[in-house]
Amino acid sequence: MAESRAAIRYAKAILSLASDQNLANVVNDDMTLIATTIADNKNLSDMLESPVVNTAIKKSALLEIFKNTNTLSVNLIDTLITNKRVNLLGQVAQKYNQLYDQLNGIQVAKVTTAVPLTDELKSKVLAKVKALTGKEANIESIIDESILGGFILRVGDIQYNASIANKLNKLKREFTLN
């Protein structure tokens, strides 16, 4: 809990600084890159969490991995290292993305399907989300073969379940009640 609070504070600070310098969009791209890189690379996340690895090694590794990022993003890494909070880098990046999306009225639409979404289907989902909520959305695609077919759409507090598994469960309940 305390770590996520700290991550939110760092994310708010970097967003404020980036907004003041009209670089919020550029830093958002950097934070997306940092968040996905750390989430997708177990060795990197383990290194950041490890108390055994020297902070100088962590700093040089991070600066080499993220060498094409904006100065503000590099300064964030330096600040986290100086404050002995470099293990929060992935969380700070995720929180920054969330705060940036909130600031710009962008929401995340989670679409769960049995098979990967096609580009055509993604555009239809985006259009439907915009029609329902009036806001832009980014799609987060989740593949879950247990739903058999159809899709489950989650946007904020709204969930629309059009999966085959859900329809089969409804039929099963109707037959068991009669």
Q: What are the domain boundaries of the chain? A: 2-102, 105-177
Q: Hunting for tokens 């710009």 — which residue is that?
A: 104
Q: Parallel, antiparallel, or unpaired for β 106-113 and 150-155?
A: antiparallel
Instruction: Name 107's bridge partners.
Output: 137
The predicted pLDDT at position 3 comes to: 60
Query: 104 pLDDT exceeds 90?
Result: no
Domain 2-102 has CATH 1.10.287.610: no
| 9-18, 95-104, 112-121, range with greatest mean pLDDT | 9-18
What confidence tens digit (pLDDT) does each residue in 58-83 have? 999 999 999 899 999 999 999 999 99
Query: Cα separation of 162 and 160, whole Å?
Result: 6
pLDDT band at 85 (very low <50, low <70, confident <90, very high): very high
Instruction: State phi, psi for 140 to the nearest 5 degrees.
Output: -110, 110
Query: 164 pLDDT exceeds 90?
Result: no
**Three-state secondary structure call for residue 84:** coil
Q: Are 143 and 113 in contact (CB under 8 A)?
A: yes
